[in-house]
Amino acid sequence: MTVAAASTSRKLSGYDLYRALGSPKTVVAPMVDQSELPWRTLARRYNADLAYTPMINAKIFVQPKFKQSAKDAQYDLTHGEEGSAVDRPLVAQFCAHDPVALLAGAKAIEHTVDAVDINLGCPQEIARKGRYGAFLMEDWPLIHSLISTLHEGLNVPVTAKFRVFETIEKTVEYAKMLESAGAQILTCHGRLREQRGQNTGLADWAKIRAVKEAVKVPVFANGNILYHADLAACLEATGADAVMSAEGQLYNAALFAPARPLEPLPSVPSTSTISDAELSTSETPIDHAYLEDLATLSTGLQPRHATLALEYLAVVRLHATPTASSAVKGHLFKLLRPALAREPDLRDRLGRCQGALFTASRSPPSDKLPAPHEPLEIDHPWPEESEPGAFADFARVCREMRARMERDERKAARAWTVAAAQEGGRIPDVEGLTPAHRALGAYTDQRTGVRVLPHWLAQPYVRPPRPEKGKAELAAEAASLAKKAARAEAAGKAAKAEEARVGEKRASAAIEVVVGEDESKRVRLDVDAAAKEGLEKMGYTQELSRSRGLLGILFMTLAIMAVPFGLGAPLATSLIGGGPATMIWGLVFVALLSLMLAFSLAEICSLYPTSAGAYYWTYKLSPTSSRVLLSWITGWMTLVGNWMAALSVTFGTAQLVVAGAGIYHPEWIATPWQEYVIFLGITGVAAVFCLFFNRHLPTIDIACAWWMAIGLIVMLVALSAEGRAGRHSAGYALGHFDSSASGWGPGWTFFIGLVGPAYTFGGIGMIAAMAEEVHDPVTQLPRAIVYSVPIGATMGLIFLLPITFTLPDAATLLAVSSGQPIGVMFELIMGSKGGGFGMWFIIFGIGIFCSISISCAASRATWAFARDHALPYAHVFARVAVPPMTKEPIPVNAFLLSTIVQVLIGLIILGSSAAFNAFVSVGVICLGLSYVTPITVSLVRRRRMVALAPYSLGRWGFLVNTLAVLWVIFEIVILCMPTVVPPTPTTMNYASVVLVAFTLFSAVWYVINGRFHYRGPPQVDDNHSPSPEMLFEKDKSDALASTSVTPV
């Protein structure tokens, strides 16, 4: 008797319901945007006995403002396929915190399902904000009301899925409460609410068994299912009536099917891009003994993942019910995951598939869905592959992947034949693997203990182990959580207090088990594995080596800022801009506003730590309709900004050489070509270090930090002790202001004096290009960005204060023929050429260090943009290689492109110094525009996407972001204005003209090339882009807490 038939007479309960469902043993879990109709259909073809819908928001079906299309996106009643005979048995899962709305929503679809489940297990931050899922665990009266309301008001039974508590006793008590409220089946997920993402860990089967033994209704076990063998192990260990799987089943749709030999390979498709030579060698027939031995690698069926992917697409096209493109993309990334790292071009193509699957005019498919025992047609192209739409793009990727995997499997099969024929080739070792198995590429991952299968087979993904913390860190965490619990208790927030107390106990217990002398190395490896996983979720492959921790990336940021160099090189502008008062208080003013910018960038960077930087952030934060164009514009602003910033440093260092020579030869005035030759030398030095000593760059940045620290101390002591040009009072050093040299009024003169600090702090966001070379970038990169500003401001004050107290006559300095008075200034203050040269040499050394670091950062920005097909010959500049003397891969071609562009633009100095200065000046302007674009987009969209950023600004976010945007806009105005008035052709600031020229170039290139090839960064997990229907009205958000699948 079916549930539907039974419901007309009486509502089934407990084991009557279980039997009516067919006494299921294997269950597909409810998963956001992943357990949709086609996936359920495919799972049933591979022995899934029961399936759950994705989580449904009850309010969608009761609030009039939501149209039918919004309701169908949650659960499609229009086409009549969801909940039809072929989609049964089926349980619909709802989330809610309002019993009335929950009942109304469930009533709308109860006639199409066998039961309604309440989500009490979602651990994501969005569930906390929406007040549902696992964040109702402490509100037992509300949970009881939700279940009992459904139990009394529905014509179908109600079930519940929940997570466990810290103790078995409380978990059992909780389960009994759910049973008493009316839940007829309990699904126990054996993990705590806090176990998610990198903290997922193992599910506790002992708690599931305790629940099973304590209640009288059927219990489904959820957690720790990777391979088919885990099904029987779980049933035995827990005593549960069935096993539910979420992520394990997503990576292998055939998880529930027992092992059997795979079908022989078909011929390679003619559409493959495999070469003729590869094609001829790949057609070698496969021995059936190989197929039988391959099946022994697992007790369950591990099909070829490309075959599964094509089968899924076949099911999608045979349904009239629309499937979201994001859902398809999410499934394909998981199914094909074992091979995507080997085939980065296919992963890139897959990431760029977007838009509607089919055209709006597409007719319903004429083909019928075959019965579960009948094969799906996947060997020949479908009609939809010749039509526009994302489906055709997905299909082409899957077919190409299938051809490549068949090629690889044939090669491996030949290796298997050789290994199997040798003596002992079929004898298993201690890990259960034979030499023939290992010839196929099978092995056991020593960190996880999980068997890794050949890369053409579907297999589970095991997250890297949670990074272990040191005793000091755990003790600090426990103390912090204890304080948090105390505050929550004082405020009457029992739920938060309980959560904090649980965390405190776990941290305290963990202190006792932290052992091992190589702990820091182990933690770093685990953190790098987590960072690699995060990068893959953003659509990129880990191609560069992670070699920088917090200090390494912080020191590189400070090297790029090069505070003494950045404030010393434009000394003339500071003097024109008012002198000592502007130098000191202008630095403080700019540092405070730059700190707002740093906070804003750090927040977004923690959410998306990739070398793509600002243009990736803009893409992710922008509305779908404008994200590609805004990302393109931001990317070009980032690229031009990096190139010109690097040029300004290397050429500024060259001009510093001229200033140093002027100490001993004041009569010498360098010609443009002499300056250019010196510039080439500086650029060459930076190139040698970046290309051939890349693995030593972190050490070079540390050396730069020491050089600056010691140099500042030396300068502070030396300049203060000598003061041969005279000493000034504190009133003069801190308050003297003279606007006569600028021609502007006092107010604008002060703002002109801000140019030096603006240039100095303008590069704080460039460090984002190094994200893929940083350990734990989610944490360390934001810290480096923020810490660099107060540290840089302090260094700036240490540098400027002795100068303002001993400053020579401003008119004398401004009269220096080279226009670079810093060398003469040091000579006058020290009272000797040798002393002046010593002070100059400190600044020169900082300039060299800065040239190396900033050239490295600019090359990474170039490489990232090329990787996303935004540059001409992108495939060339996106390559990484290992140059001689370098043991790490680096983007050599991108570095050469960045350097060549700077060298060519440097030629402009031979024709016009004013034009050259305009190009140099536009660097900080473009960087500012690239910074402000994602921040502005985030503000316009009410900061929804960054609300869950790891480095969150919280309630201060709107104020901080607004100040950052206003500062950048004002900074750009300052940088576009002439320093003195009235301007002459030589002193006129042409930065705005160059900015327009670069903008026009990017626009023209977009029309010619970009609109055909640039589709934005790859988006692996757009499957979690939320819709308004997903969220409660008071928490409509454009961000979810995790980019991984969300089992609910």
**Of the candidates 791, 761, 784, the residue with the CA atom closest to the CA atom of residue 593:** 761
Please tell me whether residues 827 and 902 are part of one structural domain. yes
Q: Is 122 a catalytic residue?
A: yes
Please tell me whether residues 496 and 545 are part of one structural domain. no
CB atoms within 10 A of CB 490: 9
Task: Write down the pLDDT at residue 425.
Answer: 84
Looking at 452, 482, 500, the residue that finishes a domain is 452
Task: Write down the pLDDT at residue 703.
Answer: 93
CA distance 199 to 163: 15
What Cα–Cα distance (Å) separates residue 256 from each residue in 238, 528, 808, 818?
18, 33, 83, 78
Please tell me whether residues 481 and 445 are part of one structural domain. no
Please tell me whether residues 221 and 323 are part of one structural domain. no
Cα atoms in the Cβ-side hemisphere of radius 13 Å centred on 587: 28
Q: Does some domain include residue 460?
A: no
Q: What is the pLDDT of residues 971-999, one digit of tens each?
A: 999 988 888 888 887 778 888 888 888 88
Please tell me whether residues 492 and 546 are part of one structural domain. no
In our burial notation (b when 16+ CB lie closer than 10 A, e otherwise), range 531-545 reads: bbbbbbebbbbbbbe
Tokens read off for 857? 């950062």
Please tell me whether residues 497 and 398 are part of one structural domain. no
| CATH at residue 693 | 1.20.1740.10
CA distance 186 to 117: 9
Q: Does some domain include residue 1036?
A: no
Q: Does some domain include residue 261?
A: no
**Of the candidates 300, 299, 297, 338, the residue with the CA atom closest to the CA atom of residue 431:** 297
Please tell me whether residues 873 and 926 are part of one structural domain. yes
**1014 Cβ neighbours under 8 A, 6+ residues apart:** 628, 632, 868, 869, 870, 1006
CA distance 544 to 774: 10
Rg (CA), the chain: 32
Please tell me whether residues 484 and 390 are part of one structural domain. no
Q: Does some domain include residue 191?
A: yes
**840: enclosing H helix or E strand:** helix 833-867
| CATH at residue 46 | 3.20.20.70
Contact of 616 with 635, CB cutoff 8 Å: no
Q: Does some domain include residue 1033?
A: no
Q: Does some domain include residue 869?
A: yes
The answer, yes or no, to whether the previous bond of 982 is cis (omega within 30 of 0) is yes
CB atoms within 10 A of CB 709: 13
Q: How far is CA 193 from the centre of its chain?
A: 23
For residue 92, the SS3 value is strand
What Cα–Cα distance (Å) separates residue 1023 from each residue in 323, 327, 1044?
11, 5, 9
Which domain, by its residues, includes 502?
473-513
Contact of 202 with 462, CB cutoff 8 Å: no
Instruction: Give the DSSP letter string of 227-254.
Output: STHHHHHHHHHH--SEEEESHHHHH-TT
Please tell me whether residues 212 and 294 are part of one structural domain. no
Task: Write down the pLDDT at residue 464.
Answer: 58
Task: Write down the pLDDT at residue 355.
Answer: 85
Task: Write down the pLDDT at residue 198.
Answer: 63
Domain count, the chain: 4
DSSP label of 388: S
Please tell me whether residues 158 and 287 are part of one structural domain. no
Helix axes 822-830, 697-722, angle to 10 degrees: 50
Please tell me whether residues 110 and 228 are part of one structural domain. yes
CB atoms within 10 A of CB 366: 7
Task: Write down the pLDDT at residue 503.
Answer: 64
Q: What is the pLDDT of residues 597-647, one digit of tens each?
A: 999 999 999 989 999 999 999 999 999 888 899 999 999 999 999 999 999
Strands 56-57 and 50-52: unpaired
Contact of 18 with 185, CB cutoff 8 Å: yes
**Of the candidates 164, 160, 227, the residue with the CA atom closest to the CA atom of residue 190:** 164
Tokens read off for 757? 């600090």
Active-site position among 122, 188, 353, 605: 122
Contact of 874 with 1010, CB cutoff 8 Å: no
List own/partner pairs for 625-633 with CB under 8 A and 24 or more apart: 627/1016, 628/1014, 628/1015, 628/1016, 629/1006, 630/933, 630/937, 631/1016, 631/1017, 632/870, 632/1002, 632/1006, 632/1010, 632/1014, 633/933, 633/999, 633/1002
**88 Cβ neighbours under 8 A, 6+ residues apart:** 2, 114
Q: Does some domain include residue 268?
A: no
Q: From the first residue on, what is the mean pLDDT of each consecutive set of 10 residues in the chain (1048 residues)?
A: 46 94 96 92 96 90 76 88 94 94 93 96 82 91 96 96 94 96 96 80 92 97 92 95 95 94 70 52 66 90 95 94 91 92 84 85 80 90 90 95 92 90 88 91 82 92 60 64 72 66 59 41 56 80 87 92 87 90 95 96 93 94 89 94 93 88 84 92 94 90 93 92 90 92 90 91 92 90 95 95 93 81 88 90 93 95 93 89 80 95 91 76 90 95 85 91 96 89 82 86 84 80 34 29 37
**994 Cβ neighbours under 8 A, 6+ residues apart:** 918, 919, 921, 922
Please tell me whether residues 666 and 798 are part of one structural domain. yes
Q: Does some domain include residue 443?
A: yes
The answer, yes or no, to whether the previous bond of 1026 is cis (omega within 30 of 0) is no
